[in-house]
């Protein structure tokens, strides 16, 4: 089972990294990435909060290394993935995973991105500059994930339980 989890994690990381330059929504110093949000929800449901958070971290690292991301890629991807995993684990419903992703990325991640932009990047943008695009991107990505999870048989295996 561990090999299966690691293989799925590697696949999600590859998809997230390779699509980073293709599909994004520019928002000032940030790039909102709906594919990342879809990956967060899928990883949370299929692998659990720990894997989802690690996948978000690795994708953010790789995106930064390849020049397709910024420091702002970290808070949204990690907070959204973690909260999606925790809420899914507690309630076992896809809507709760979506709520975790949208609140974790859109609100908490947007606010954390503002803190990073303000204190580390010297941006004078206000927090509300980050939160709406993060919310829009995470809502869209969450819906994509739910459609994919309902369409693929792998989603019914509850991989994260073992």
Q: How many Cα neighbours within 13 Å face the side chain of 79?
A: 20
Rounded Cα–Cα distance for residues 88 and 96 (Å): 6
Which percentage of the chain shows pLDDT scores above 90? 55
Q: What values do phi and psi take at 27, rounded to 5?
A: -140, 80
| 89 exposure class (CB count in 10 Å sphere: 0-12, 13-18, 19+) | middle
Question: Which listed CATH number (3.40.640.10, 1.10.760.10, 3.30.700.30, 1.10.1760.20) goes with 2-161?
Answer: 1.10.1760.20
For 110-138, how does the pLDDT look when each residue is reduced to its tens digit (9 = 90+)? 889 888 888 888 877 776 677 888 888 89
Both structure tokens of 86: 């925790």
Residues 6+ apart with CB under 8 A from 162: 1
Write out the H or E segment, with its range, that includes residue 115: helix 110-119
Grade residue 144 by pLDDT with cuts at 50, 70 and 90.
Answer: very high
> Within a 10 A sphere around the Cβ of 133, how many other Cβ atoms?
19
Q: Domain locations in the chain?
A: 2-161
> Within a 10 A sphere around the Cβ of 136, how many other Cβ atoms?
16
For 57-111, how does the pLDDT look when each residue is reduced to its tens digit (9 = 90+)? 999 999 899 988 788 889 888 999 999 999 999 999 999 999 999 999 999 998 8
Q: What is the pLDDT of residue 162?
A: 40
pTM, 2 dp: 0.87
């Amino acid at each position: 089972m561990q090999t299966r989890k690691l293989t799925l994690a590697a696949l999600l990381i590859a998809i997230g990294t390779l699509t980073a330059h293709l599909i994004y929504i520019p928002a000032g110093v940030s790039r909102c990435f709906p594919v990342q949000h879809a990956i967060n929800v899928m990883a949370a449901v299929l692998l659990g909060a720990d894997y989802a958070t690690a996948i978000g971290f690795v994708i953010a690292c790789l995106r930064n290394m390849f020049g397709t991301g910024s420091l702002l890629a970290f808070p949204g991807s990690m907070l959204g993935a973690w909260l999606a995993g925790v809420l899914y684990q507690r309630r076992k419903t896809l809507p709760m995973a979506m709520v975790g992703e949208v609140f974790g990325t859109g609100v908490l991640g947007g606010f954390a991105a503002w803190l990073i932009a303000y204190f580390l990047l010297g941006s004078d943008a206000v927090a509300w500059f980050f939160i709406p695009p993060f919310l829009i991107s995470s809502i869209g990505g969450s819906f994509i994930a739910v459609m994919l999870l309902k369409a693929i048989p792998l989603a019914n295996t509850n991989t994260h339980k073992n």
